[in-house]
Amino acid sequence: MNYQIAFTQRAELQLDNTKAWWSQNRSAEQATRWYTEISEAIFSLQRNPQRCPLAAEDNLFPYELRELHFGLGSRPTHRAVFTIRPDVVLVLAIRHVAQDMITRDDL
Percent of the chain with pLDDT over 70: 100
3-state secondary structure (DSSP) of residue 96: strand
Q: Summarize pLDDT for 54-89 with one digit per residue, the tens.
A: 999 999 999 999 999 999 888 999 999 999 999 999
- pTM of model > 0.95: no
Q: For position 20, what pLDDT does the model report?
A: 96
- Which pLDDT band holds residue 12 (cuts at 50, 70, 90)? very high
Q: For position 68, what pLDDT does the model report?
A: 98
CB neighbour list of residue 71: distance below 8 Å, 6 or more residues apart: 77, 78
Average pLDDT over residues 47-57: 96
Domain interval for residue 96:
4-106
Pick the more confident residue, 107 or 84. Answer: 84
Q: For position 82, what pLDDT does the model report?
A: 98
Instruction: Quote the number of domains for the chain.
Output: 1
> Tell me, what CATH number does 56's domain have?
3.30.2310.20
Least Cα distance to 69 among 82, 54, 80, 55 occurs for: 80
Long-range CB contact pairs, 27-32, < 8 A, 24+: 30/72
